[in-house]
Amino acid sequence: MEFKINAVASQTDTQVNFDKTLKLNKISFNNNQLNIGLGDNAPTAKMLKKLAITLAQTANKFNLSALFLPTLAVDDFVGIMTQAIANNDYQVQKVDLDIPEVNILQSVTFADGKQDGIDKGMAIASGMALTRMLGDMPSNVCTPTYLAETAQGLAKKFGLKCEILEEADMSALGMGSLLSVSKGSIEAPKLISLSYTGNGAAKPIVLVGKGVTFDSGGISLKPGAGMDEMKYDMCGAAGVLGTMHAVAEMKLKVNLTIVVPTVENMPAHNASKPGDVVTSMSGKTIEILNTDAEGRLILCDALTYVVKFNPEVVIDTATLTGAVIVALGKHHCGVMANDQDLADDLIAAGKTALDTAWQLPLDDEYDELLKSNFADMGNIGGREAGTVTAACFLSHFTKDYRWAHIDIAGTAWISGAKKGATGRPVPLLTQYIMNQIVRR
């Protein structure tokens, strides 16, 4: 099989370096055309994604303006390759209050058209670009107010319904758990809901994204090393906003609502202290044993709030625990659910989208670790099974609907010289939503 790139550049007979793991048997640049031979390798989605990244990198190196790719029998392959090419061209943004467009090649063309696959790949890449941009922004720019303004911008762009609850609104609803996190910061908390209607009066899929725009740990202060990366503690929020962007851009026949509880967690004279007891919107009381376990405190009130949307299913996504990185590293998201079919559907969608997830248990026995002498439950369960006990905590607020929790603490961003947000789990969530439409 041979891949060809039509080029504007005038270079000839230039040899190109490539990723040896692709097992390509030929790659050369001649007569304005890049030729890549795959030999007898049967293409897989994972291999084609790597190839697409190689193509994009090569195109950038030689200032090529167009890609012409061969016929691919599977639409998913076209979407995966288009998404990978566009996502590769994303550039980390300097501080800029404007949402940037995705920076891509001028054209990507497949020999047999495959426009549906291209459109799908581009929409997901656009959602990932928004997610990455929000994640990479410094926390003095990307505040709860900025996330609310971003949601309002999406509502205007795509004709969505947007509602922003302010601190007084949340207080009136009894969201004492959420407000216990925000009260130590001068940044006002927000509860954002954004709804897309593409399927009449059908029950919506509801996505909830944790939006802690900076997590100092509060009174339970985090170590200083690497604390700058705590601006990424809102990547759950960024991920559901990016998913909404992708779904609305594709005009999918689905009803989708996203809910974003967003706060800043800071130490202050009035901040919550270990040992404080607060009352959640559900009426359950919580002993705050560690103020750095704040994500579950804002999510539990949001998970109670979403009942008002009469959801078909609820999926929350959050950079919730460091323990998930110990368990799964940087490759898989962690999935826990009160419905096995839902967990299976998310894992299957992740495999298709190459944005993979692995299921962890959610057994009643873990609840023993959350017991408190002074409240209905504590907000941590000790060192054992930290990812699972965090999900068990959330499960107490999700009894009225099918629910899954996705812990993205290991996958939402990368550290080191190439530090930046990844755009995950936009591909997984978008693929899950598309799969549900097909199954109807």
pLDDT in tens, 229-239: 999 999 999 99
Catalytic residues: 222, 296
Please give the Cα distance from 317 to 320 (Å, whole number). 8
Average pLDDT, the chain: 86
Quick one: 184 and 60 in the same domain?
no
| Residues 303, 159 share a domain | yes
Calculate mean pLDDT across residues 50-78. 67
Indicate whether 230 and 312 sit together in one domain.
yes
- Say whether both 80 and 166 belong to one domain: no
In the predicted structure, residue 56 carries a pLDDT above the cut 80: no
Taking the C-alpha atoms of residue 46 and residue 51, their distance in angstroms, rounded to an integer, is: 9
Count: domains in the chain: 2
Residue 128 lies in a domain: no
Specify whether 98 is located in the same domain as 176.
no
Residue 124 maps to a domain: no
Tell me which DSSP letter residue 113 carries: B
The pLDDT assigned to 78 comes to 77
The angle that helices 144-158 and 235-250 make with each other, rounded to 10 degrees, is 0
pLDDT at 99 over 60: no
pLDDT for 111 = 59
104 & 179 share domain: no
Q: Is position 237 within any domain?
A: yes
Asked which of 98, 113, 128 is the last residue of a domain, the reply is 113
273 and 338, same domain (yes or no): yes
Q: 147 and 101 share a domain?
A: no
Average pLDDT estimate for 81-89: 82
Is residue 71 located within the same domain as residue 220?
A: no
Assess if residue 146 is contained within a domain.
yes
Same domain as 80, residue 181: no
Q: What confidence tier does 219 reach under pLDDT thresholds 50, 70, 90? A: very high
pLDDT at 62: 63
Instruction: List the domain range (segments joined by +) for residue 28.
Output: 2-113
Residue 109: band (very low, low, confident or very high) from pLDDT cuts 50, 70, 90: low
Proportion of the chain above pLDDT 90, given as a percent: 71
Is 174 part of any domain?
yes
DSSP string over 218-270: TTSPPPSTTGGGGGGGGHHHHHHHHHHHHHHHHT-SSEEEEEEEEEEE---TT
pLDDT digits (tens, 9 = 90+) for 276-292: 999 999 999 999 999 99
Last residue of a domain, one of 68, 98, 113: 113
- Convert the pLDDT of each residue in 4-53 to its tens digit: 333 333 233 333 333 333 333 344 444 445 555 555 556 678 877 877 78
In terms of domains, do 142 and 98 share one? no
Positive or negative: CA dihedral 170, 172, 177, 180? positive
Cβ proximity of 410 and 333 under 8 Å: yes
Query: H or E element: which one contains 144?
Result: helix 144-158
Residue 108 has pLDDT above 80, yes or no: no
C-alpha radius of gyration, the chain, whole number: 22
pLDDT of residue 21: 35
Residue found by looking up tokens 């929790």 in the block: 405
275, 409: one domain: yes
Read off the pLDDT band of 263 (50, 70, 90). Answer: very high
Q: Please measure the distance between the N-terminal and C-terminal CA atoms of the chain and give it in whole angstroms.
A: 36
**CATH number, domain containing residue 12:** 3.40.220
- Higher model confidence: residue 36 or residue 89? 89
Please tell me the predicted confidence (pLDDT) of residue 326. Answer: 96
